[in-house]
A and B are shown apart, each in its own frame.
Chain A
Amino acid sequence: MAETFAPPRRIDWVGISFAVVLTLVIIFPLIVVGTWAFTNVWRYPAIIPQEFGLRFWSQTLARPDVWSAITTSISLACVVTLLSAIICLPAAFAFARLEFPGRSLLFFSFLAGQAFPKFGLLVAIAGIFLGLNLIGTFWGVVLIQLVGTLLFMIWIPVAAFQGVDRRMEEAARDVGASPLRVFWSITLPQAGPTIAAAVLLTFVNTFYETEGAWLIGAPGIRTMPVLMISFINNQPVIQYGAVLSVILWIPSFFALLFARRVISGGSFARGFGA
């Protein structure tokens, strides 16, 4: 009879040091910010706060500018994501499936928005928007943020559509589905998870987008990140910033929960052509 011997357990120092470094770099700042958000009094040199509490939550949430920033941010992110999907998804399908003159040139032109220093680009656009009276307006910010979403919302869905097995679509035609029905019942469900990943990325990126929102939106439009920056710059009290940070985590937390449900393993990677 064969006996199995457990190999002598070796301590995986490399793994442990990775875990420690990651903890320090990612988890530790989160813990510090999270702690600050629920702290009433924390004076040097105490290691833990002298007094926990929700005092700064009630103070922060009592401010009308916070509430208006939350509404602005959420509606901006929703509108931009929706518009981006309406514009980009059909375009992505065309890029993936149709041959037309200038296809590759147009396709790679979406990189241009990311290839140059963003701030310079924004300033130039702001100049144009000034002439169009779009500075400080909701739709001005929508437009500028829309530009930032193009790359992900085109490139990832293109990969998703290209990744759908053409034989699957042919098999559906074969059993009697019209081209439109094939798109609806086969192509879209097959590409769905990857496209959902792109939509999610777009939503979260837009929610946290700061430069464009600040440059084009100020002073009329204040998003959460813009408000947080001004809090950090203008308030001597750390807790305001910390509370806002925690509030800012909420959308990405829900996005991640949603992502786990919608996106099967590897969809993101497939979206990037892996």
Chain B
Amino acid sequence: MAVLDIKGISKHFGAGVLAVDNLELTVGDGELVCLLGPSGSGKSTLLRMVGGFETPSGGSITIDGEEVIHLPPERRPTGMVFQSHALWTHMNVYKNIAFGLKLRRRPADEIKRRVDAVMELVGLAGYGERQTHQLSGGQQQRVALARSLVLEPKILLLDEPFASLDQHLRERLREEVRDIQQRLGITTLFVTHGQDEALSMADRIVVLRDGKVEQVAAPDVLYREPATPFVAGFIGTMNLIEGTVSNGTFSRAGFSSPLPVGDGPVTFAVRPEALVIAPAAGAGAAKIHRVTDYGTHAIVDLELPDGLRLKSMVPEARHWTTGQAVDLAPRAFSAYRDNALIYRSNAAR
């Protein structure tokens, strides 16, 4: 069942600035959906419209079948966690979490029970009397999460919640948040510009660009079958080669590959791990520009004769040297024309 249903939603800022453009999205019960996109793609605006902090220029948002577009934030069944934590610094941890329940005039013993339970859930048991400035960034984020969860919202909205934390903490917290989300089965909309975060947490990812949906798909599908060149380039690393097809062969500078599509301009997309290189007898298709050893694998930077840079992933660095001429063999690839997928090789599926 769809908990959140967004239909034809748009948002203009001032004259001509279209932050969100006629967007459709459905989020099912207990699902965690990530809104992923570069800054300015409209993902935060969309989230804030669901929370009631921005008024859409048009469209409809329903939660459990009920239209919420005219409701102020305090009357929506949503709970938002802000990037800056936005804890109330004049209240201690307990009061921060209990505030929403107090507003609902719950009996004191119920408030205590629910706040204690949620503090236990987010790993903050015993921290109730602490002042917010005595907490680390990760703990502050847990308080912010607890503050929303304690009210048992129908939809949890997370606005880049880990952006202000360091890498290590971010990874740990996203696992914890994912665990909590699954344990409670709470429907969650999550905004991020980090693809790692999206790929590791989401049931489905919505890739946004300029206020429009580029693709909605599960993380593995998104990685293996990007629907547009933008998604291909945005998720993971992708070599995007602009070139032309004539008589079933794609070519660009020294690089060519069979491509059974009609003649014309094409964007050829191949992942570094699918671009196989081999030492060339003569001039080769490309020259090695740099070899970077990552231990588990190595990345070879290649340069086509016209200067275009490509990346290839190889198991070991030691076979390759800078300046070496190599031949290229794409093992799995796809091709785009006019922003749409027109071909995908068998191995890419």
Q: A175–B148 contact, CB under 8 A?
A: yes
Report if B80 contacts A (CB, 8 A).
yes
CA distance A190 to B147 in the complex (A): 19
CA distance A72 to B271 in the complex (A): 84
Task: Select from chain B the residue with minimum beta-carbon distance to A178.
Answer: B74
CA distance A136 to B347 in the complex (A): 97
Q: B89–A175 contact, CB under 8 A?
A: no
Q: A174–B90 contact, CB under 8 A?
A: no
Contact with B along A159-181 (1 / 0, CB 8 A): 00000010110111111111001
Report if B255 contacts A (CB, 8 A).
no
Q: B103–A167 contact, CB under 8 A?
A: no
> A176 with B90: in contact, given A170-B53, A171-B82 (CB under 8 Å)?
no
**A174 contact set on B, CB distance < 8 A:** 51, 73-74, 78-80, 148
Report if B168 contacts A (CB, 8 A).
no
CA distance A165 to B89 in the complex (A): 10
Contact with B along A187-214 (1 / 0, CB 8 A): 0011010000000000000000000000
CA distance A189 to B74 in the complex (A): 20
**B90 contact set on A, CB distance < 8 A:** 189-190, 192
Q: B79–A165 contact, CB under 8 A?
A: no
Task: Select from chain A the residue with minimum beta-carbon distance to B79.
Answer: A174
Number of interface residues of A (CB under 8 A): 18
**B73 contact set on A, CB distance < 8 A:** 170, 173-174
Q: A168–B88 contact, CB under 8 A?
A: yes
Closest CB-CB distance, B122 to chain A, in whole Å? 16
> A190 with B103: in contact, given A174-B78, A175-B151 (CB under 8 Å)?
no
**A165 contact set on B, CB distance < 8 A:** 84, 86
**B84 contact set on A, CB distance < 8 A:** 165, 167
Q: B100–A176 contact, CB under 8 A?
A: yes
Report if A70 contacts B (CB, 8 A).
no
> A175 with B86: in contact, given A170-B53, A170-B73, A170-B80 (CB under 8 Å)?
no
Number of interface residues of B (CB under 8 A): 25
Which residues of B76-130 are within 8 A (CB) of A?
Answer: 78-80, 82, 84, 86-90, 99-100, 103-104
Q: A186–B88 contact, CB under 8 A?
A: yes
Report if A23 contacts B (CB, 8 A).
no
Report if A71 contacts B (CB, 8 A).
no
Q: A171–B74 contact, CB under 8 A?
A: no
Q: A175–B103 contact, CB under 8 A?
A: yes
Q: B99–A170 contact, CB under 8 A?
A: no
**B151 contact set on A, CB distance < 8 A:** 175-176
Closest CB-CB distance, B2 to chain A, in whole Å? 22
Report if A59 contacts B (CB, 8 A).
no
Q: B88–A167 contact, CB under 8 A?
A: no
CA distance A24 to B53 in the complex (A): 58
**B88 contact set on A, CB distance < 8 A:** 168, 171-172, 186, 189-190
Closest CB-CB distance, A102 to chain B, in whole Å? 21
Report if A235 contacts B (CB, 8 A).
no
**A192 contact set on B, CB distance < 8 A:** 90
Report if A185 contacts B (CB, 8 A).
yes
**A177 contact set on B, CB distance < 8 A:** 74, 99, 103
Q: B100–A175 contact, CB under 8 A?
A: yes
CA distance A165 to B75 in the complex (A): 22
Contact with A along B189-203 (1 / 0, CB 8 A): 000000000000000
Task: Select from chain A the residue with minimum beta-carbon distance to B151.
Answer: A175
Closest CB-CB distance, A230 to chain B, in whole Å? 47
Q: B89–A170 contact, CB under 8 A?
A: no
CA distance A139 to B125 in the complex (A): 58
CA distance A185 to B91 in the complex (A): 10
Report if B262 contacts A (CB, 8 A).
no
Closest CB-CB distance, A140 to chain B, in whole Å? 40
**A186 contact set on B, CB distance < 8 A:** 88
CA distance A190 to B89 in the complex (A): 8
Contact with A along B50-89 (1 / 0, CB 8 A): 0111000000000000000000111100111010101111
CA distance A241 to B181 in the complex (A): 73
Q: A171–B80 contact, CB under 8 A?
A: yes
**B72 contact set on A, CB distance < 8 A:** 173
Task: Select from chain B the residue with minimum beta-carbon distance to A174.
Answer: B80
CA distance A177 to B75 in the complex (A): 9
CA distance A177 to B99 in the complex (A): 9
CA distance A189 to B88 in the complex (A): 10
Task: Select from chain A the residue with minimum beta-carbon distance to B104.
Answer: A176
Q: B74–A167 contact, CB under 8 A?
A: no
Q: Which of A170, A171, A186 counts the most B-chain CB atoms under 10 A from its CB?
A: A171
Chain A residues with CB under 8 Å of chain B are 165, 167-168, 170-178, 181, 185-186, 189-190, 192
What 7 A-B pairs are tightest by C-beta distance, nearest first?
A: A175-B100, A167-B86, A173-B73, A171-B86, A189-B90, A176-B103, A174-B80
Query: 5 additional contacts, CB 8 Å, given A165-B86, A176-B75?
Result: A170-B53, A171-B80, A173-B53, A175-B74, A189-B90
